[in-house]
Structure 1
Amino acid sequence: MASPHYPVREDWLALAQEDILASEQPIFDAHHHLWDRPEGRYRAAELMADVGAGHDVRASLYVQCRTGYRTNGPEHMRPVGEVETILDWCAEHPLHPAGIVAMADLQLGVDVQPVLESLCAAGQGKVKGIRNTTAWHSDPAVQSNPNPPPDGLLRSDAFLEGARAVADHGLTLDIWAYQTQLDDVHALAQAMPQLTVVIDHCGGPLGVGPHDRFDPESFGAWRSGLERVAASPNIRIKIGGFGLSVTGWRYADAPQPPASDQLAKDWAPWVSAVLDLFGPDRAMFQSNFPVDKGQFSYVSLWNAFKRLAAPLSEDERHALFWRTAAQTYDIDHQIFTHDIGRKPS
């Protein structure tokens, strides 16, 4: 099935240039991918070109996307190859990524334990969490994965047992779910208070198919779902993912890429709601590159986040830009605290 993501066009992205805002702000990019696919290549060189474009991005977190699976051996062990591949690709850049959210099929239930052990061994201390493909919607127009999962994974007893094994191994659980699935996320978090659950991409606000992002009822349904989820203290949330096609933004159709002031204005209602519900100490910024790179540049993305965070206190900004993510994924804080206030070279 064809990729649901907008293609990356470097020549189009180059049409918009802007200065780096708040260049002294340390950043932990809490969510990116790497791949080498027919539709595009985004490996260490491409990541480091974005990371080195001017913002002080000191470390990053890789999140599974079916890159580099083993091609033989037991099916359930093949995702270990993703960890091996990423470490090989990024051997010269130890902080990019500083951590990995890997894939282990939680439908295995308790039998997922040897997979988790193999992932952690392969990761050499960098495997921090697990994510499965769980974003599902009944309307085929709402699709963010070329291989969408069946309905009900988050509600299954087997998944719950697998999630319990994740907690037992001291790992986090990232969940990518649409706004229509937030009650499932809430139930999972309530059933497993010992597990840190990280909601990806603002909890999946939708703007395609039967959903209109400008419809107050749709926005209200998303916010109400997040409000229920936020009641569980073991949940964290990532702010970003606005370049996903399912959000309904179509910046890629414009003659030029959007500037950060436009992005900040467009995203403000959703970011404001997330911060109202979770606060900076339970929220973190993410790039979701290269998925979102089809719609805007890395420089403009982080400038937009800096514009949105500008009214907050310095401590709150540090929480959003690095501290919450570093605490959640057990990343050394000294990476971000040494020489705070320096200008990046």
Structure 2
Amino acid sequence: MTIEKTDAHHHLWRLDSSHYPMLRAPGIERFLGDTGRLKHDFEAAEFLPLACAQNVTRSVYVESHYDPPIAETAHVQAFAEVHGFPHAIVGRVDLASGELGAALDTHMRSPLFRGVRVMVNWDADAMFRAVADPDLLSRPAWRAGYAELGERGLSAEVMAFPAQLAALADLAADRPGTPLVVGHAGLPLHRTGAEHALWRAGMTALAALPHVVVKLSGLAMVDHHWTVDGIRPIVRELIDLFTPARAMFASNFPVDGLHKSYDAIWDAFDAITVDDPAADRAELFRDTARRFYRIA
């Protein structure tokens, strides 16, 4: 019997919807791959058979560049009421906006809303860059918005590159009231010795903070041709650093589907942890995500 799972990070979209500008824009080559290959439906008809085959019984929706973002959570809430999934929603806001409070009020009308995902990943090469400001983590207005999430009982999921993880750890230490998810395993992108040292130092600092968890996901974005043995050291290192109680597996579908199948991702996590205690595997595959996102 396939172990019961919570998919802690997936997206949903419709190609014919006007709410997904990235699906209407010309495809470009980014670090995650060719965005043109994401131009297909990914909703109940596409996701549920994949999830059923892997015994995924709960899932977490993460913002999918919906436009306008303030309407995304209500849209996904309505979708969940029809289809029975997802079971938690992570939306998108501008943490530095003067309208942050009003935006959060709107998102929080939806019972499944749990927090926001913010991308701060900056690189000198525009191909890898999600934001224009390399110092976003240090901006006072942005940090105030980050703190407000915690004050409202919401979490932050932050995507940052290895060179930014030390600054993210400093922020998390300074704002312990905001539960933090380190997105996509800290994006170990280039795999050089120098980058790995930055990645490990940053993840070690983050793991030392009890309110920080990590998502083991997105590995196909940073290594389009990964193998089980190739990702095993990253997965094992993060499990050791954070412990299974603060680490969760996720598919990042359909984005990671540019390079790997849904089954291949989950089967790799299974193979890497097959000899671990059953209680640890239950945390990684199911319970950490359920606990963090308050999923019944």
Q: Say whether the 8 Å CA contact 2:77–2:112 is kept in structure 1.
A: no
* Match of residue 107 from structure 2: 119
Structure 1 position 305 matched with structure 2 position 259: no
Question: Equivalent residues in 2 for 1:51-200 (5 A)?
Answer: 51-52=51-52, 54-67=53-66, 69-70=67-68, 79-94=69-84, 96-108=85-97, 111-121=99-109, 123=110, 125-143=111-129, 145=130, 148-200=131-183
Question: Equivalent residues in 2 for 1:1-345 (5 A)?
Answer: 22-23=1-2, 25-36=3-14, 37-38=23-24, 39-52=39-52, 54-67=53-66, 69-70=67-68, 79-94=69-84, 96-108=85-97, 111-121=99-109, 123=110, 125-143=111-129, 145=130, 148-207=131-190, 213=191, 215-244=192-221, 247=222, 249-251=223-225, 263-332=227-296
Give the 3-state SS of the residue equivalent to 1:97 in structure 2: coil
Aligned length: 274
- Structure having the higher helix fraction is 2
* Partners of 2:45 and 2:132 in 1: CA distance: 31
- CA offsets, 1:220-243, max 9 Å, x none? 221112111211111100001111
* Partners of 1:149 and 1:131 in 2: CA distance: 17
Q: Say whether the 8 Å CA contact 1:32–1:288 is kept in structure 2.
A: yes
Higher mean C-alpha deviation, range 29-38 or range 198-207: 29-38
TM-score normalized with structure 2 length: 0.88
* Partners of 1:224 and 1:177 in 2: CA distance: 14
Q: Say whether the 8 Å CA contact 2:220–2:259 is kept in structure 1.
A: yes
After TM superposition, the runs of 4+ consecutive aligned structure 1 residues lying more than 4 A away are none
What is the letter of the counterpart of residue 120 of structure 1?
A: M
Q: Which has the greater radius of gyration?
A: 1
Structure 2, unaligned runs of 5 or more: 15-22, 25-38
* Partners of 1:132 and 1:142 in 2: CA distance: 15
Q: Say whether the 8 Å CA contact 2:166–2:201 is kept in structure 1.
A: no
Sequence identity (%): 30
Structure 1, unaligned runs of 5 or more: 1-21, 71-78, 208-212, 252-261, 333-345
Give the 3-state SS of the residue equivalent to 2:295 in structure 1: coil
TM-score normalized with structure 1 length: 0.76
User: What is the root-mean-square deviation in Å for CA atoms of aligned residues?
Assistant: 1.6
Give the 3-state SS of the residue equivalent to 1:320 in structure 2: helix
Query: 1:129 Cα deviation (Å)?
Result: 0.8
* Partners of 1:161 and 1:87 in 2: CA distance: 27
* Partners of 1:141 and 1:104 in 2: CA distance: 23
* Partners of 1:132 and 1:224 in 2: CA distance: 22
Query: 1:318 Cα deviation (Å)?
Result: 0.6
Give the 3-state SS of the residue equivalent to 1:243 in structure 2: helix
Q: Say whether the 8 Å CA contact 1:100–1:126 is kept in structure 2.
A: yes
* Partners of 1:142 and 1:113 in 2: CA distance: 30
Q: Say whether the 8 Å CA contact 2:80–2:87 is kept in structure 1.
A: no
